[in-house]
Amino acid sequence: MRSLLRQFPVVAIVGARQVGKSTLARSVVSQAGSATVFDLEKTADLRRLDEPSLALGKLRGIVVLDEVQRRPDLFPTLRVLADRPRAPARFLVLGSASPELLRQSSETLAGRIATLQLEGFDLGEVTAGKADRLWLRGGFPRSFLARSEAESVRWRQEFLATFLERDVPGLGFRTPAAMLERFWHMLAHWHGQLLNSSEIGRSLAVTDATVRHYLDVLASTFVVRVLRPFHENLAKRQVKAPKVFVADSGLLHTLLGIEDSRGLELHPKLGASWEGFAVAQILSRLRVRRSEAFFWRTHEGAELDLLVVRGRRRYGFEIKRTDAPAVTRSMRIALSDLRLDRLDVIHAGVETYPLGERIRALPLTRIVEALAPR
């Protein structure tokens, strides 16, 4: 983030609520020397910005605007201030990924803004041996760091309630909290599966368009991950429906009523939960943008759990909750048809070993040292 602030006059940190955006900003500000912070959830700070050009134009150093989606009208002012010669201030804007934040920043600050998406804790940020805790509790700092499983569960339950009743309306979405809660619980049971808007709509007695709107709300606030299908001109019929995941494994478990490791091991969504956790860890480790992540599946049965496309490079990942994975016909088809540079079979064991040309078995707990950000 310090590197981005040196290069761009405006840097946006986006991510789910309570993921640590303000903590990260305070850490940077504490080393910056000159800094000014505006918390736009505070009435006093909002009033200080009644005349934004006057309030912001005289400031020096780093200026932090926390929860900036509450004042999207600030972005035109930021554009003017960012274009000053030898700009005396750099602006750090924090937001929970509302449509207003993304739209305003892209329309008025093109070429002047860099965006950093902040995720929860990942395997590279927790101590050795804590992978199972991270999977069970998820990556939200207060959930992972809770003193007991009961405290972690209670925090996540409160997060879900507050998010639906206060945070979503505060981000500008006009969606009934009770209906969105029902949809989110239903989506948890579709975790790791192809989205069927019609079936979900019939269950909720709403239209397909309403289902897609609810999904957009949860995806735009980073609590649901939508993995798009990959298409190419192959002589095969390819699946076109997206795959959906609850983005944080801890929130998934709370939505499913899972409170401890035993409950998780006995739950029918165990495999899907582990797949979603593995996908999240790979994407975080490789710093994958949304536009680079896909899955692939044909109507003939060939599939790939995760495909990362970066320019001309293609990396495939198949996820198996076993300690002794083997190469399948589906993997070989994916390797050939998609022209993969490499296929990693992510598994629950402890050993890394080759499975064939350009195919290796890789334990999930070893991805930190085995997968380097590109």
Strand-pairing partners, residue 319, are: 346
Residues 6+ apart with CB under 8 A from 110: none
> Would you list the domain boundaries of the chain?
2-117, 123-370
Closest-CA residue to 217 (of 256, 262, 181):
181
106 pLDDT above the threshold of 70: no
Give the phi and the psi of residue 12 in degrees, each rounded to 5. Answer: -105, 130
| Region of 192 on the Ramachandran plot (φ > 0 left; ψ -120 to 50 alpha; else beta) | left
Q: What's the CA gap between 285 and 252, in Å, rounded? A: 21
Burial class (CB in 10 A: 0-12, 13-18, 19+), 185: middle
Which pLDDT band, with edges at 50, 70 and 90, does 346 fall under?
very high
For tokens 């709370």, name the residue.
254
Q: What's the CA gap between 130 and 134, in Å, rounded? A: 6
Residue 31 pLDDT: 79
Which pLDDT band, with edges at 50, 70 and 90, does 214 fall under?
very high
Q: What's the CA gap between 152 and 143, in Å, rounded? A: 5
Per-residue pLDDT of 162-199, as tens digits, reads 999 988 887 777 888 899 999 999 999 999 999 999 99
Report in angstroms the alpha-carbon separations of 103 from 21, 64, 150: 20, 19, 39
Q: What's the CA gap between 311 and 3, in Å, rounded? A: 23
| Least confident interval from 230-244, 264-278, 298-312, 343-357 | 230-244
105: which 2 tokens?
């920043």
Closest-CA residue to 11 (of 32, 26, 25, 31):
25
Question: Mind giving me the DSSP string for 314-330?
Answer: EEEEEEESSSS----HH
274 pLDDT above the threshold of 80: yes
Pairing of strands 193-194, 35-39: unpaired
| Residue 197 or residue 30, greater confidence | 197
Instruction: State which H helix or E strand residue 354 sits in.
Output: strand 353-356
In this prediction, residues 234-261 reach a mean pLDDT of: 90
| Residue 69 or residue 66, greater confidence | 66
Alpha helices (H) in the chain, listed in sequence order: 2-7, 21-30, 43-48, 52-57, 74-82, 99-108, 131-137, 141-144, 149-162, 168-170, 177-189, 197-204, 208-220, 249-255, 261-266, 270-285, 329-337, 367-370
Residue 30 pLDDT: 83
In this prediction, residues 122-130 reach a mean pLDDT of: 91
Residue 286 pLDDT: 93
Q: Give domain 2-117's CATH number out of 3.40.630.30, 3.30.230.10, 3.40.50.720, 3.40.50.300.
A: 3.40.50.300
| CA 146 to chain CA centroid, nearest Å | 22
Residue 70 pLDDT: 81
Has this prediction a pTM greater than 0.85? yes
Report in angstroms the alpha-carbon separations of 165 from 72, 217, 352: 22, 13, 46
